[in-house]
Amino acid sequence: MPERTVVIGSRGGLHARPASLLVRAATRQPVPVTIARRGQAPVDARSLLSVLALGAGHGESVVLAAEGEGAEAALAELAALVADDLEGPAGDAVEAGE
């Protein structure tokens, strides 16, 4: 099954807005996509509560997986979302630290 391992780019982890954006994007895909933390059971990426319950923080790796026609394109789109910093609209995004 095609897979992608991605490091979470959002500062708050897969929470609030970043999690919502991922779930909305996953719902739009032609194939079901799963998301898992390393070494844990995969969950449906269309389920906001399951994605939140991963408790996946900034800088952690997650594995996206999908099968069937359009799987590669779906993974590419979702992997890009997970890797981005999706926190808040532009102007709210501030680099961490000094």
Question: Which residues does the annotation mark as catalytic?
Answer: 15
Q: Per residue in 62-82, is it b (16+ CB within 10 Å) or e — as a string? A: bbbbbeeeebeebbebbbebb
Q: Which is nearer to other proteins, 2 or 27 (CB)?
A: 27
Contacts with other proteins, residue ranges (CB under 8 A): 12-13, 15-17, 20, 23-24, 43-44, 46-50, 52-55, 57, 94-98
Tell me 56's DSSP state. Answer: P
Q: Which is nearer to other proteins, 2 or 47 (CB)?
A: 47
> What gap in Å lies between CA 86 and CA 82, rounded to an integer?
8
The least distance separating other proteins from the CB of residue 84, rounded to whole angstroms, comes to 18
